[in-house]
Chains A and B, each alone.
Chain A
Amino acid sequence: MKTVDLAIVGAGPAGMVAASEARGHGLSVAVLDEQEAPGGQIYRAVEAVAAQAPERLALLGEDYAHGRRLAENFRVSGAEHIDRALVWQLEPNGLWYLRDEVCHELKANRILLASGAIERPVPIPGWTRPGVMTAGGVQILLKSSGVVPDGRVVLAGNGPLLYLLAAQLLAAGCRIGALVETVPYARYLEAVPHLPAALGSGYLSKGVRLLRHLRSSGTRIYRNARDLRVEGEQHAEALCFHAGGHEVRLDSDLIVLHEGVIPNQQLTRALGCVHRWDDGQKCFRPETDEWGNTSVEDVLTVGDGAGIGGALAAEHAGRLAALEVARSLGYLQTRERDRLSTSSRRQLNKLLQGRRFLEVLYAPPEERQSPPDETLVCRCEEVTAGQVRTAVRTGCTGPNQVKAFTRCGMGPCQGRMCGNTVSAIVAETQGITMEECGYYRIRPPIKPIPLAALAAAEVDCELDDVAQ
C-alpha cells in the first residue's frame, strides 16, 4: 500500500494551494476530490470554462477566473490528483476511498481536510419540493453547464452568494422576478460597529456594486421578510411570506434559497476532532490552532471546512497548513516556516476581520433555528420539526437520542441537511446552549458506498471466521 507525506481531501482553493506549497518543499502529496477537475465548488469547472466558454468566464466575473491560476499551479506542482474519489473513511494515518465503485486505501503521514463548506440548510415548510434549489446549486449549473433558470425565478434569503448569483444571472440574460431578503431590520444596526473593518477588506465595495446592479435591473426587492413557506404539492408553485405588514404570495417556477454557508463537518466529526459552536458564524466548527492542527494528532483542517472565511482566506490558510506539515515532517526548520508564513498570516487576518460585518448582518434569522412544527427538517427520512420536539419532550436529551428515536439523520445524507436544525431544536426545547447540546456522532462511511465494493476489498489480515 502506498504511503504519502500528505493526503489532502478536497481540491478547492485551500487544497490546491496547500498541495502546491507542500510540493514546493519536497513533500509527496496526494489530493483526493469528488470532482473530475480541480477547483472545488467555488472554482468549479474553471479550467473547462476558460478553455471552452470564454463568454461564460466573463459573465462569472474576475473572482471566479482567479481560480484558473490556482488550478494551473496545482496541475504543474507534481501532486498526485486522485479525481472522482469519494473519501469514505478516515483513520489518523490513512484513509479509504471509492473510485469507479472500487475501494482503495491510502496511507499518509499527515492528513489535511479541506472539504469546504455546504450551504446552510434553509428549513421552511415546502423546501423539499421540486422547484426549490439552493443558490449554490443554481450557480453550479451556470458554472459547469451554462444552464440557467427560465420562467418566474424568485431568490430568497440573504448573504453575499445570493447577490452574486443574482448579478451573474442578470449578466447571463435571465430575468429575476424578485429578491426576498430575510435580514431583520435590527441586524443593520448591529452590523454597523463592524463596518470599518469591512471597509478595508474589499467585501463591502463588492456588495454595494452588486446591489446597485440588481436595483437598476428592475428586480423587485422585498426586505425584512419572515414566515417563509413554499406552496405547491408535487412542485413548488409559489413562495409565500410576510413583509412590510403584508402577506405576499409570489407565483414561481423556481425558488432559490440561500442563507450563507457553514463548514462541512462530516470528515472532521467522523475522525473525532473536537468541535465548538461558533456563535459569531452560527455554526459548529472544528477546533484548530493557528496552523490548522486539529485535536487529533497528525490531522489538520483549513479553509471553509474549518470556519467560514471565504475563498481567498482559504488559499492563505492552505499555505500555512502546508508549511506546518513541512515543518512537522522535517522538511522545514521552525524558523523557516515562520519566515515563509508572515505574508499569508497577515492577509488571512485582514480577510477574517472583514468578515465580521457579514456574519452579523447575514446571521440566519431566528425562525430558521426554530422552524414551524410542520417543516420537514430531515429531508431523507421526512421527519418534521414537530416530531423532533415531541421526541425531546419524551426523554431524548440530545441529537443522537433524537436520531435513534425518530430516524432523523439516518438517511443517505447522514444528517448533513438536518444536523444543525436538530441541534437548534433540541437546544431550544431543553433550554440549553448549542455548545452544550452538541451534534450528531458521524459514522462512517462518510457517504454511502456499495456493499459489493466493500465486500470486494482485499483484507490483508488473518481472520478466523469460526463462530466463537
Chain B
Amino acid sequence: MFRRLSDPEKKVRMTFEGQDITAQEGESVAAALLAAGITHLRQTPVSGHPRAPYCMMGACFDCLVNIDGVSNLQACVTPVREGMSVHSQVAEKDLLHEDG
C-alpha cells in the first residue's frame, strides 16, 4: 500500500508482533508500520473488525497499539525508538499490566 521514497538514513530497529522492522529516526510508529506493509493495527472492541491508521494526526484513535506492554497508545503520535516492541491491539487482550 505504501513505499519509501528512499531508504532510511538514520535507522531505528523495532518489531511488530515479533517481526523485525527498520524505521527512520524521527518518524511515527504508524508511519514505520505502514511503510513496512503492515495495514491492520488493531481490532475494534465492539465488532472485532480490523482497523488501520486513518487520520495520522492524533484525532481518530484508529491506530491504537500496544508498545512495550503499554496498550492504547496512538501509533501516529508516538515516535519510533530503538528496540521498541509493538503489538496489535486485539479486542479483549490489550488490557491490564500485571502488577496486581
A residues with a Cβ closer than 8 A to B are 34-36, 41, 45, 48, 52-53, 56, 84, 101, 118-119, 128-134, 136-138, 140-141, 144-151, 172-173, 234-235, 253-254, 264, 379-382, 411-413, 416-417, 447-448, 450
Contact = CB atoms under 8 A, between A and B. Distances in A.
A129 B56 CA distance: 15
Nearest to A253: B1
Contacts of B2: 141, 147-150, 254
Contacts of A134: 54-56
Given A149-B2, A412-B64, A382 B47 contact: yes
A119 B55 CA distance: 8
A144 B28 contact: yes
A173 B79 CA distance: 27
Nearest to A101: B70
A138 B40 CA distance: 16
Contact of B3 (A36, A56, A150): A150
Interface residues of B, number: 40
Interface of B: 1-6, 9, 24, 26-28, 31-32, 34-35, 39-40, 44, 46-47, 49-62, 64, 70, 72, 76-77, 79
Contact of A234 (B9, B50, B58, B59): B50
A253 B39 CA distance: 11
B72 A448 contact: yes
Contacts of B46: 381-382
Contacts of B58: 34, 447
A3 to B, nearest CB: 28
B6 A146 contact: yes
Given A136-B55, A145-B35, 16 more contacts: A128-B49, A130-B51, A130-B52, A133-B54, A133-B55, A140-B31, A140-B56, A147-B3, A147-B34, A149-B2, A150-B3, A379-B60, A412-B64, A412-B72, A447-B58, A448-B72
